[in-house]
């Protein structure tokens, strides 16, 4: 009898969830914002100059160049496939089918400034707002909003400010985060509830950055340090927004550590090298990728050119974002975020009340559904991970 009672208590939260939420609604829409890492071809529709990604050797692994800055598929392609929907088309391809979302990302994009022949994050969000009536309110609320942006902000800052003080570094990061917050809230105001963020890579380890520094044996300190500061502030922002905005849900992927691990231990992750790029010129192929200087086996490299990943690396990132555990992505991976009910906070609050009424003292099961505790533990874990990154920044 005691065993049956114990089983009832352990299953009770799940029973409540089922009563509240008898059918699962899978997100079938993906909106993508970012820079060249996520660009599915927007650059070629905007630029009046030659766009390298529209020509070989880009796309060499899949047989044709598509405007993607890789030898093949990029992370949003894999996530769309895992979601069971078609690849998401670039918004500037006006004849495309946008029934499952749109890709607003474009190479050379930044959060701040006004770079030429690209779209800042603000301009990408404005483009989303201009087109939002292509999708119903329900579709927009159930969709996944995927972000990777900020690399160009910090690379340009480091180039123009080689020796900033700690206060100056923090002030610039705060500028970027403040602007990012404003854009997230605009998307939220138009119905967005499920946000997925890929944090920034250790930028000083990009082949283009190392080669430009003249010391290809070490990662450049300042760009990686700026990325780590950004990642810490970004996580704090997401936790803050989850408490401030009703129904705001998020996924935060530790891309910094993923690249860190693969650069240091390439062969552990099936790559032959994490230092040189597959395509380019210079000591580690950090610049000027062309058909004349591309490697024979892109799958053996993490980086395809000086700044962007190979298809194989993108595939690994896609799998981690989709289904990895909280050591890598949290508080939800994208597979979990996709099916999370929009009113999950209401459901969990009701579970707390029911469990408290049945058992005055908090049980281990209840603690699993303690939202504030989960947020606090997740935040502490991620901030610890970011602090550890300083040991990697050489």
Largest CA distance in the chain: 76
From the list 7, 308, 352, 381, the catalytic residue is 308
366/249 Cα distance (integer angstroms): 20
Contact 224, 204 (CB under 8 A): yes
Strand order in the sheet with 30-34: 101-103, 30-34, 144-148, 194-198, 249-253, 329-331
Q: How many helices (H) and strands (E) in the chain?
A: 15, 6
Residue 260 contacts by C-beta under 8 Å, 6 or more apart in sequence?
202, 205, 389, 392
Q: How far apart are CA 188 and CA 350, in angstroms?
A: 25
308 is catalytic: yes
Cβ-contact 30, 337 below 8 angstroms = no
The token pair at 306 is 């000086």
As a three-state string, the secondary structure of 15-26 is HHHHHHCCCCCC
Beta-carbon neighbour count of residue 13 at 10 Å?
Answer: 19
Q: Residue 115's CB: how many other CB atoms inside 10 A?
A: 15
> End-to-end distance of the chain based on CA atoms, in angstroms?
60
Q: What is the DSSP string of 236-297?
A: HHHHHHHHHSTT-EEEEE-HHHHHHHHHHSGGGGT-SBSSS-SB-BTTTT-B---GGGB-S-
Residues 220, 209: contact at Cβ < 8 Å?
A: yes
Report the catalytic residues.
Answer: 308
């Amino acid at each position: 009898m005691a065993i049956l009672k114990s089983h009832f208590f352990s299953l009770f939260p799940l029973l409540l969830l089922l009563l509240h939420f008898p059918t699962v609604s899978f997100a079938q829409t993906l909106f993508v914002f970012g820079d060249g890492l996520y660009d599915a071809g927007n650059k070629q529709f905007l630029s009046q100059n030659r766009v390298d990604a529209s020509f070989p050797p880009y796309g060499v692994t899949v047989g044709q160049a598509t405007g993607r800055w890789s030898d093949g598929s990029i992370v949003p392609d894999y996530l769309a496939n895992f979601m069971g929907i078609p690849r998401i088309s670039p918004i500037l391809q006006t004849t495309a089918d946008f029934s499952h979302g749109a890709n607003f990302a474009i190479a050379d994009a930044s959060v701040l400034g006004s770079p030429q022949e690209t779209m800042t994050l603000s301009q990408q969000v404005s483009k989303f707002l201009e087109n939002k009536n292509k999708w119903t309110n329900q579709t927009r609320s159930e969709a996944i909003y995927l972000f990777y942006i900020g690399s160009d902000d910090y690379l340009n800052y480091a180039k123009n400010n080689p020796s900033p003080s700690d206060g100056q570094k923090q002030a610039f990061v705060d500028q970027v985060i403040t602007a990012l917050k404003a854009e997230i809230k605009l998307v939220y105001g138009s119905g967005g509830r499920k946000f997925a963020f890929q944090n920034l890579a250790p930028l000083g380890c990009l082949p283009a950055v190392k080669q430009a520094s003249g010391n290809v044996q070490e990662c450049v300190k300042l760009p990686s340090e700026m990325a780590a500061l950004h990642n810490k502030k970004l996580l704090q922002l997401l936790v803050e927004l989850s408490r401030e905005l009703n129904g705001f849900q998020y996924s935060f992927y530790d891309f910094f550590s993923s690249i860190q691990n693969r650069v240091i231990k390439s062969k552990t992750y099936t790559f032959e090298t994490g230092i040189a790029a597959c395509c380019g010129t210079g000591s580690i192929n950090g610049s000027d990728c062309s058909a004349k200087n591309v490697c024979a086996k892109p799958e053996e490299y993490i980086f395809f050119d000086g700044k962007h990943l190979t298809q194989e690396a993108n595939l690994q990132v896609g799998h981690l974002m989709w289904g990895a555990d909280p050591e890598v992505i949290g508080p939800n991976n994208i597979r979990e975020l996709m099916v999370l009910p929009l009113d999950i906070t209401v459901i969990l609050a009701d579970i707390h009340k029911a469990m408290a009424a049945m058992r005055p003292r908090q049980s281990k099961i209840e603690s699993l559904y303690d939202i504030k505790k989960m947020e606090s533990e997740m935040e502490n874990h991620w901030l610890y991970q970011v602090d550890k990154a300083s040991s990697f920044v050489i």
